């Protein structure tokens, strides 16, 4: 197997059983890398040796830390969904079911690595320490962004599907010019990760990003969370072949991983990041997972997918899998779990209070930051708006 | 002719010299585009620059306009100042999404925390006998998007100054180059910064007059000047204003002129329907209403796709059509 061929992991019967609803025989019916079975047992096949080495340093406390990350991400998701139902958010896009893909890959990042997310990467936002309330400013309609990207090395959420894959690639080309790739200094060498979904792989921008990354050997990891649904369209509407094979056509090493296996996601991301930082170029990761929730709070999955499928994946909850592993390895700690539960409760309460307190900005703020330097049209309209508003104040004063 | 720092250059060469200075003065400036390296671009505007500044700073990209713009945005987020060349006006549309949904809004959606100082150079306009998609004037499409600056030089001097100011601007700039005027020559002062950043948003009165104001930019400024000369022979004193910027439109300069002349004709190659001339007409009507002797008239392209080369002279705002509009304005 050469570096530029798509990687074919050994088929693990446990990971893609023949009864997997709506998958058998389609592009999602392909082998994938797994380090922990859905039942919580470690996979010990020889093909997984190299990947197991990459998670060998994660001791019981570290595994519990990953569980905590996932539980807090889930709670954030549930609270945000509730807040939308109560009318406190205009919209919300759930990450539910994709916690292992996000926490596993996110925890493999070095502090200096830069992330270009789509809009469902709440697990990444958690890992990078973005204030939970700030993450919901966009969904409440008080901000188009919400945080300082350079403070967290996480770009703002991008809503135009796949556009940010090019930004990630350009950023990575900048890193190359800055001499931050392949120096051998672990604190200096930097990589970029961009997250997108199965639907985005059909976008021209994602494909152009793969072209630009490949010919420039750019240090970027294309992390595709194949959650099987692009709103209402299944993966079969996007592809005839497993998505990870897309990378091979561009000369980009590719791997398909069980996206509900947090350790496998950590391992493949660590490998891809190392390749990028050392000057080995881009990697395409397909993390096969499931969108347990709706596309957004405006969506109705009962119109297009079966209850049987949802129930199948409910039984493959990535958080349950990690708990099963912890229990199997005698690493489960009731006191720790209770602390995390209390932490999640506190997070929920904080969100309920703080999100409601997020006030609408002043109307006149719409004229701010349209340009970095004065623009006469914006200035004229802004002045008119101020006068218009003032006229009401004067009328009221009369 | 060369005197001191002043040289006679073509408009294309003036842009080349401006790009060269920007590359020299700021190591973060880099050029990206198709065939801009050894070939020097299909119009040779980047001639010799890759040889002098290397492949990392004058980058021959894959043939993908959205990819060029998207990666330029990423480079800008990393602190670079990319100057993208779109080969022809009609080929900017694959990049239209990146320009309008991403480039234009990055500063805004980040609350001013991010800047994306990307320049997009677009050779535009017709009159060169080209095939389909090679003669269009899509500037109004971009001027209609907040967050973008849209400019177009009409002379080698302005081309030299404006390209450097566009690159230095923290805002994204769409830089429309009148390709039909690439080989026209003019004096260029290669020393100093000229008028400085004001060239990006200040119109310029290029010929003084008292009876009518002709407003133009880019390729039609020369046509307007010829029309003014012809009109002068008939005893009409026509003022010519070169807008230089379409976003923002310097309506203050136009309004000041029309208040004196009482008549206004706007000329551009782009279709007049919902074009930048319509905005000029609206502003002038609003601010010069009592000074106007005639309605504001527009001369430009029609609401048709750009026609085949053999009849493009009927589509473009020719000297005759401009003079016809001048006559109509005086006939009111």
Give the model confidence (pLDDT) of A285-339 as tens digits.
Answer: 999 999 999 999 999 999 999 999 999 999 999 999 999 999 999 999 999 999 9
DSSP tag of B175:
E
Q: A204 contacts in B (CB within 8 Å)?
A: 64, 66, 94
- Report whether pLDDT(A5) > 60: no
Q: Decide if A276 contacts A282 (C-beta within 8 A).
A: yes
Give the per-residue pLDDT at A1: 31
Mean pLDDT throughout B44-65?
Answer: 98
Q: Decide if A154 contacts A115 (C-beta within 8 A).
A: yes
Q: Is B134 a catalytic residue?
A: yes
- Report whether pLDDT(A237) > 50: yes
Q: How far is CA A89 from CA A83, A146, A299, A354, A357, in A?
A: 6, 14, 15, 12, 12
Q: CA A197, CA A20: separation in Å to the nearest integer?
A: 20
Structure-token pair, residue A161: 């599907």
Q: Decide if B168 contacts B112 (C-beta within 8 A).
A: no
Q: What angle do CA B43, B48, B52 make, to 5 degrees?
A: 150
Burial class (CB in 10 A: 0-12, 13-18, 19+), B62: middle
φ and ψ at residue B80, rounded to 5 degrees: -90, 165
Mean pLDDT throughout B124-149?
Answer: 97
Cis peptide before B86 (omega within 30 of 0): no
pLDDT band for position A19 (cuts 50, 70, 90): low
φ and ψ at residue A189, rounded to 5 degrees: -60, 135
Give the per-residue pLDDT at A12: 47
Side-chain-facing half-sphere of A275: CA atoms under 13 Å: 23
- Report whether pLDDT(A233) > 80: yes
pLDDT in tens, A346-383: 999 999 999 999 999 999 999 999 999 999 999 999 99
Q: CA A34, CA A11: separation in Å to the nearest integer?
A: 10
Whether ipTM > 0.90 holds is: yes
- Report whether pLDDT(A110) > 50: yes
Q: If residue A197 lies in a helix (H) or strand (E), which one and from where to where?
A: strand A192-197
Structure-token pair, residue B32: 């990206």
pLDDT band for position B2 (cuts 50, 70, 90): low
Is the CA virtual torsion B147, B132, B62, B53 positive or negative? negative
Q: Which residue of B has its CA nearest to A144?
A: B109
DSSP tag of B100:
I
Mean pLDDT throughout B120-148?
Answer: 97
Side-chain-facing half-sphere of B51: CA atoms under 13 Å: 6
A158, A167, A370: residue with CB nearest B146: A370
Q: A211 contacts in B (CB within 8 Å)?
A: 62, 64, 67
Structure-token pair, residue A217: 């050997």
Q: CA A170, CA A397: separation in Å to the nearest integer?
A: 54
Q: Decide if B152 contacts B217 (C-beta within 8 A).
A: yes
Choose from B58, B74, B78 for mutation: most chain A CBs within 10 A.
Answer: B74
- Report whether pLDDT(B225) > 70: yes
A155, A174, A211: residue with CB nearest B67: A211
pLDDT band for position A10 (cuts 50, 70, 90): very low
Q: CA A108, CA A269: separation in Å to the nearest integer?
A: 6
- Report whether pLDDT(B248) > 60: yes
- Report whether pLDDT(A191) > 90: yes
Question: In terms of DSSP H, where are the helices of chain A?
Answer: 49-55, 60-85, 99-106, 122-127, 132-135, 137-140, 149-152, 163-177, 204-216, 245-249, 262-277, 307-314, 318-328, 334-356, 376-397
Among candidate residues B181, B102, B99, the one with its CA nearest the CA of residue B138: B99
Q: Decide if A279 contacts A181 (C-beta within 8 A).
A: yes
pLDDT in tens, A51-77: 999 999 999 999 999 999 999 999 999
pLDDT band for position A396 (cuts 50, 70, 90): confident
Give the strands of the sheet with B185-189, arranged side by side: B2-3, B6-10, B185-189
- Interchain pair B113, A177: CB under 8 A: no
Give the per-residue pLDDT at A397: 84
Question: In terms of DSSP H, where are the helices of chain B?
Answer: 11-25, 49-53, 65-77, 96-97, 106-109, 139-143, 156-168, 220-233, 251-261, 276-287, 312-315, 319-331
**Helix, strand, or coil here: B1?**
coil
Give the per-residue pLDDT at A265: 98
Q: CA A238, CA A118: separation in Å to the nearest integer?
A: 18
Q: Decide if B70 contacts B102 (C-beta within 8 A).
A: yes
Residue from A120, A291, A316, A321 carrying the catalytic annotation: A291
Residue from B133, B134, B268, B303 carrying the catalytic annotation: B134
B66, B78, B146: residue with CB nearest A208: B66
Q: Decide if B172 contacts B147 (C-beta within 8 A).
A: yes
pLDDT in tens, B214-224: 999 999 999 99
Alpha-carbon dihedral A139, A144, A149, A154, rounded to 10 degrees: 40
């Amino acid at each position: 197997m050469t570096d530029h061929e798509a990687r074919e992991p050994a088929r693990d019967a446990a990971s893609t059983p023949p009864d997997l609803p709506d998958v058998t025989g389609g592009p999602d019916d392909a082998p994938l890398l797994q380090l922990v079975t859905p039942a919580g047992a470690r996979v010990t096949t020889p093909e997984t040796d190299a990947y197991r080495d990459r998670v060998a340093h994660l001791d019981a406390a570290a595994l519990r830390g990953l569980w905590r990350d996932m539980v807090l991400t889930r709670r954030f998701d549930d609270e945000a969904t509730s807040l939308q139902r109560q009318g406190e958010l205009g919209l919300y896009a759930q990450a539910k079911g994709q916690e292992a893909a996000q926490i596993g890959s996110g925890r493999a990042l070095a502090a200096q690595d830069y992330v270009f997310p789509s809009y469902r990467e709440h697990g990444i936002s958690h890992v990078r320490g973005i204030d939970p309330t700030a993450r919901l400013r966009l969904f409440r309609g008080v901000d188009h962004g919400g945080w300082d990207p350079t403070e967290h090395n996480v770009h703002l959420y991008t809503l135009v599907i796949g556009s940010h894959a090019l930004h990630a690639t350009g950023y990575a080309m900048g890193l190359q010019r800055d001499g931050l790739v392949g120096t051998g200094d672990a604190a200096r060498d930097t990589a970029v990760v961009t997250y997108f979904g199965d639907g985005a792989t059909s976008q021209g921008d994602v494909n152009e990003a793969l072209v630009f990354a490949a010919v420039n050997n750019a240090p970027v990891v294309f992390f595709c969370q194949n959650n099987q649904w692009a709103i209402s369209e299944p993966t079969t509407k996007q592809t005839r072949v497993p998505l990870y094979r897309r990378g091979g056509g561009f000369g980009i090493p590719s791997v398909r991983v069980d996206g509900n296996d947090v350790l496998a996601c950590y391992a493949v991301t660590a490998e891809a990041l190392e390749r990028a930082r050392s000057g080995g170029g881009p990697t395409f990761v397909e993390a096969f997972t499931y969108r347990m929730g709706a596309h957004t709070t405006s969506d109705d999955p009962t119109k297009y997918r079966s209850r049987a499928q949802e129930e199948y994946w409910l039984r493959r909850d990535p958080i349950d899998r990690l708990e099963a592993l912890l229990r199997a390895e005698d690493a489960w700690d009731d006191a720790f779990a209770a602390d995390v539960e209390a932490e999640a409760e506190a997070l929920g309460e904080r969100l309920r209070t703080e999100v409601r307190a997020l006030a609408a900005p002043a109307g006149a703020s719409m004229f701010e930051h349209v340009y970095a330097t004065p623009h006469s049209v914006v200035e004229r309209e802004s002045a008119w708006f101020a006068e218009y508003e003032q006229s009401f104040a004067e009328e009221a004063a009369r | 002719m060369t005197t001191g720092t002043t040289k006679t250059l073509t408009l294309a060469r003036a842009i080349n010299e401006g790009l060269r200075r920007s590359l020299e003065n700021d190591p973060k400036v880099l050029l990206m585009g198709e065939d801009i390296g050894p070939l020097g671009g299909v119009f040779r505007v980047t001639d010799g620059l890759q040889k002098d500044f290397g492949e990392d700073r004058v980058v021959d990209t894959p043939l993908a306009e959205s990819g060029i713009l998207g990666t330029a945005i990423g480079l800008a987020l990393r602190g670079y100042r990319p100057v993208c060349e779109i080969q022809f006006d009609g080929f900017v549309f694959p990049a239209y999404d990146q320009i309008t949904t991403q480039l234009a809004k990055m500063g805004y959606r980040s609350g001013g925390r991010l800047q994306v100082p990307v320049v997009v150079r677009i050779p535009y306009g017709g009159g060169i006998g080209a095939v389909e998609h090679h003669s269009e004037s899509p500037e109004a499409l971009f001027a209609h998007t907040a967050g973008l600056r849209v400019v177009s030089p009409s002379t080698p001097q302005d081309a030299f100054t404006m390209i450097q100011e566009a690159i230095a601007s923290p805002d994204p700039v769409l830089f429309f180059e009148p390709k039909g005027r690439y080989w026209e020559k003019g004096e260029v002062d290669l020393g100093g910064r000229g008028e400085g950043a004001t060239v990006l948003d200040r119109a310029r009165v290029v010929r003084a007059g008292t009876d009518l104001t002709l407003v133009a930019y880019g390729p039609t400024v020369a046509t307007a000047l010829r029309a003014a000369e012809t009109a002068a022979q008939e005893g009409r004193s026509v003022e010519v204003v070169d807008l230089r910027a379409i976003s923002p439109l310097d309506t203050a300069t136009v309004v000041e002129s029309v208040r004196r002349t009482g008549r206004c004709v706007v000329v551009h190659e782009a279709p007049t329907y919902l074009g930048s001339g319509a905005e000029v007409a609206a502003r002038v009507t609003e601010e010069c209403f009592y000074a106007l002797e005639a309605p504001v008239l527009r001369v430009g392209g029609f609401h048709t796709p750009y026609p085949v080369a053999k009849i493009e002279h009927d589509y473009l705002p020719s000297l005759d059509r401009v003079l016809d509009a001048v006559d109509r304005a005086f006939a009111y």
